[in-house]
Every structure is written in structure tokens, then in C-alpha cells.
């Protein structure tokens, strides 16, 4: 994302939600996972932050597709596009982890 909409605060990740049950790379998200988790593409990561007494670095990188729990996000819209921000510790999984 060359024209950054927002820089995430420390401990936060900026996500573009994926509405489909398939990721851009063609990975299918199981129906069970769709009920309790959401999927999104990582656009940017904030700096390291303290969680429960531990300094935590961002567990993902720009371009990763992540699973995160419903209701763990903050939603906002810019120029008609909906974005989400979640905490590092709310990432449930990385779909295209290398």
C-alpha cells in the first residue's frame, strides 16, 4: 500500500478484510473458521508493544493473510473502503506463512 491510509499504533495491525471464503492465493477458509474468525490481508504493522509484561513484535508482515477473531477489531472507512485494526495478540493464524 504505497499511499498509507493510517499508520497503526504500536501493537496494532492494519488489515483489509477479505469477504470471500478463498484467499488471493486460492487457499480455502473452512466454513467452521468463517463463523468465529475473519480473514484479512495485512497492509501495515505497528511497532513492538508490551502485552502482559512481554515486549511483542509484530507476528506478521505486509501482504500476509491472517485469521482473527470476530469483534476483536476496530473498523473504519476511508474513501469508501473498509479497514480494520487489530492487536498483535488477536492474530489466530497466518494463511500464507512461509
Instruction: Return mean pLDDT, the chain.
Output: 84
Cell numbers that stand for 68 in this block: 482473527
Distance, CA of 51 to CA of 12 (rounded, Å):
11
Query: What was the pLDDT predicted at 8?
Result: 95
Distance, CA of 94 to CA of 65 (rounded, Å):
6
Q: Is the pTM of this model over 0.95?
A: no
pLDDT-derived band at 90, boundaries 50, 70, 90: very high
Per-residue pLDDT tens digits for 13-60 = 999 998 766 656 666 665 555 567 788 999 999 999 999 999 999 999
* Bridge partner residues of 98 (DSSP): none
Helix (H) or strand (E) holding 66: strand 65-69
CATH topology for the 12-94 domain: 10 Kd Chaperonin, Protein Cpn10; Chain O (2.30.33)
Q: What is the DSSP letter of 21?
A: S
Query: What was the pLDDT predicted at 1?
Result: 42
Amino acid at each position: 500500500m504505497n499511499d498509507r491510509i493510517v499508520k497503526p499504533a504500536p501493537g496494532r495491525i492494519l488489515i483489509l478484510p477479505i469477504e470471500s471464503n478463498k484467499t488471493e492465493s486460492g487457499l480455502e477458509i473452512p466454513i467452521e473458521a468463517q463463523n468465529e474468525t475473519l480473514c484479512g490481508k495485512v497492509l501495515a504493522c505497528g511497532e513492538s508493544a508490551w502485552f502482559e509484561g512481554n515486549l511483542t513484535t509484530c507476528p506478521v508482515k505486509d501482504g500476509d493473510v491472517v485469521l482473527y477473531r470476530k469483534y476483536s477489531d476496530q473498523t473504519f472507512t476511508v474513501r469508501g473502503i473498509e479497514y480494520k485494526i487489530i492487536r498483535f495478540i488477536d492474530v489466530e493464524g497466518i494463511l500464507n506463512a512461509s
